Chain A
Amino acid sequence: MAKKEYMFYPGCSAERLASASNYEVSVQAMCDVLDIQLNEIPDWNCCGASIGYAGGGELPRLALNARNLAIAEQEHPEQDIVATCAACWLGARETKDRLEEDSTLMRETNEALAEAGLKYEAKQRVRHMVEVLIEDIGYEELGSHVKKPLSGMKIAGYVGCQTNRPFGIEGESFENPKYLDKMIETVGAEPVEKYDKKVQCCGGALAFSEPEKSQAMIKDIIEAAYDGGADMIVTPCPVCQLNVEVYQGQINKKYRTKFEMPVVYYSQLMGVAYGKSAKQVGLDGQVIRARKLEELADKK
């Protein structure tokens, strides 16, 4: 099968030594097996994420995103843009949609971009990595590369917010999306059935500014995974991963719980199932070690 190529928008959290650097490592390992080539958008910038609005306003935020899109368009107009971070995807795709719909905003954005000698024409699609996996590769092929099925592991598929709303994945519902569960099955593990917190908000950026309110929600997300008998939680979003993983110590103190629930990325599950080592899929980047996955990855 021919190599698939995309313009790649990794985002700030995927940089070396940043909070989702382990996600980036595992995505590269996964794409290596699936023969996907990711061509990084040269000199990409931040999307403004969920809370950029306060200082940014509408047009500066659109223009910031349009810079990435314009550079990608210049580089490889025939390739789709793919993002791995939920916020990056949302910011980039929303920009494309809004500029396409509103010719005034498009004109003004291009006026701002002209300051840097750029021009945007909205030629490319903006997609999430999960869409690429499901739509361009397909569950069947995703399963065909499995060398080490994750048998005996029960996993809670935590989709979260921004990979799911407002755009979501074609054919999936906002309230009960099934694709993550299907991906869990594809790698030979068992999804937690009726995981009722699968689209619950983790607080997003407000986990930093309103920690108590957010940690109350995070507690419910983890508790529901335990109730379903999960060995670990899997998510497609860097902020979900961070928030649900790193505050477990504080939650344990406050609520007298004994949480020690690993939270991994879908790309790490796939990487391990495809025969990559624990290090190759960034499992050394988990604050709460995913021991069952590590053991399987290290098995010859």
Chain B
Amino acid sequence: MSDLNTAMVEKYRNSFLKEVEANVEEGEWVKMCMQCGVCSGSCPLGPYWEHPPQEIFMMIRAGERDEVLKSTSMWMCTSCYNCIVRCPRELPITHIMHGLAHYAERLGIAPRQNPTRKFALMFWDNLSKTGRVNEPVLGVGLYFMNGIKEGIRTALRMAPVGLGMLRTKRFNPFAFLFHRGCKGKKDIHKIIRKARELELAKAAKFGG
């Protein structure tokens, strides 16, 4: 558990809602939820959420901090935006779920073994390296994200899919060795670094 997490627990001792409002993307919307449950019923992976979105909103207001942030729930979001277009109060639910997942990750308390968490972090590292996604490296990284043994099994199982993509020229085997990405990759690194710095500074200010 990180120092940041301990600091945040101390700071918002009595109000997890305030903490979410100050630190989570679109978090100021949470209090507007009227508990109708349309979001939970609309979610394509709804049955797999430990706590569906409606419940997450209620738990935030009830101060169930650890239960929410350590949950695998938000990592079940497929970004289909059903919940957003159906919410009668127009809460940006998808973004709040993404925001909660990201905040839990920043605090170092997100569920470590969750496959979507692992893949999503790998995806961000992949794209921010050169500015563009290197698909073959991402794909193979995914197969091996739970170790070599499982990786080999997965790779064998996925071989027909990969060969189909290779045959139809939708897979670039040379990208393992060479992937140009953006010319301005250094600029992209600078932009991301600055944006992250500003975001953390803002969190620290609200948190104070």
* A residues with CB within 8 A of B: 12-13, 15-22, 43-46, 48-60, 62-64, 67, 108-109, 111-116, 161-162, 165-166, 168, 174, 200-201, 203-206, 208-210, 213-214, 217, 246-247, 249-250, 284-287
Stretch in B5-13, B30-38, B52-60, B125-133 with 4+ CB within 8 Å of A: B125-133
The yes or no answer to B89 lying at the interface (CB within 8 A) is no
> In the complex, what's the smallest C-beta–C-beta distance from A176 to chain B, in angstroms?
12
Answer yes or no: B116 CB below 8 A from chain A CBs: yes
- Nearest chain A CB to B197's CB is how many angstroms away? 9
Given the interface contacts A109-B195, A166-B81, does A55 sit within 8 Å of B124 by beta carbon?
A: yes
- Whether B82 is near chain A, meaning CB under 8 Å from some CB there, is yes
Contact partner, B44, options A16, A57, A217, A249, Cβ 8 Å: A217
A166-B196 in contact (CB<8A): no
B183 to chain A, nearest CB (A): 5
Can you list 13 pairs linking A and B with CB atoms under 8 Å apart?
Answer: A15-B132, A18-B172, A51-B123, A54-B124, A56-B124, A57-B25, A57-B102, A59-B198, A108-B198, A112-B195, A113-B191, A166-B85, A208-B142
B residues near A, CB below 8 A? 25, 44-45, 48, 76, 78-82, 84-86, 94, 98-99, 101-102, 105-106, 115-121, 123-125, 127-128, 131-133, 135, 139, 142, 157, 160-161, 164-165, 167-172, 175, 182-184, 187-188, 190-196, 198-199, 202
Q: Is the CB of A111 within 8 A of B80?
A: no
Q: Distance in Å from the Cβ of B96 to the closest Cβ of chain A? A: 11
- The DSSP consensus for interface residues of chain B is helix
Q: Do B169 and A46 have beta carbons less than 8 Å apart?
A: no
Known: A55-B128, A57-B106. A50 touches B79 (CB 8 A): yes
* Cα of A286 to Cα of B169 in the assembled complex, Å: 9
Q: A19-B165, A213-B45 are in contact. Are A60 and B199 (CB under 8 A)?
A: yes
B169 near A209 with CB under 8 A, answer: no
Q: Which listed residue (B45, B99, B125, B167) contacts A206, Cβ 8 A?
A: B45
B139 CB contacts on chain A under 8 angstroms:
208
Which B-chain residue is minimally distant from A23 (CB atoms)? B170
User: Could you say which residues of chain B place their CB within 8 Å of the CB of A210?
Assistant: 45, 48, 76, 115-116
| Contact of A53 with B99 in the complex, beta carbons under 8 Å | yes
Q: Smallest distance from the beta carbon of B26 to chain A beta carbons, Å? A: 8
Cβ-defined partner of A116 (8 Å) among B120, B170, B187: B187
Query: Is A201 within 8 A of B194, CB to CB?
Result: no
Query: Would you call A12 and B116 a contact (CB within 8 A)?
Result: no
Tell me whether A53 and B101 are in contact (CB under 8 A): yes
Which one of A12, A67, A109, A201 lies within 8 Å of B133 (CB-CB)? A12
Docked complex Cα distance between A217 and B78 (Å)? 12
User: Are B81 and A162 interface neighbours, CB within 8 A?
Assistant: yes
Q: Verify A43–B169 contact, CB threshold 8 A.
A: no
Known: A13-B135, A209-B115. Is A67-B191 also a contact (CB below 8 A)? yes
Contact assessment for A52 and B124 in the assembled complex, using a CB-CB cutoff below 8 Å? yes
- Distance between Cα atoms of A84 and B32 in the complex (Å): 35
Query: Which of the residues B81, B161, B190 comes within 8 Å of A249, measured between beta carbons?
Result: B161
Residues from chain B with a CB closer than 8 A to the CB of A113 are 191
Considering residues A13, A54, A165, which has the most beta carbons from chain B within 10 angstroms of its beta carbon? Answer: A54
**Of A44, A55, A200, which one neighbours B120 at CB under 8 angstroms?**
A55
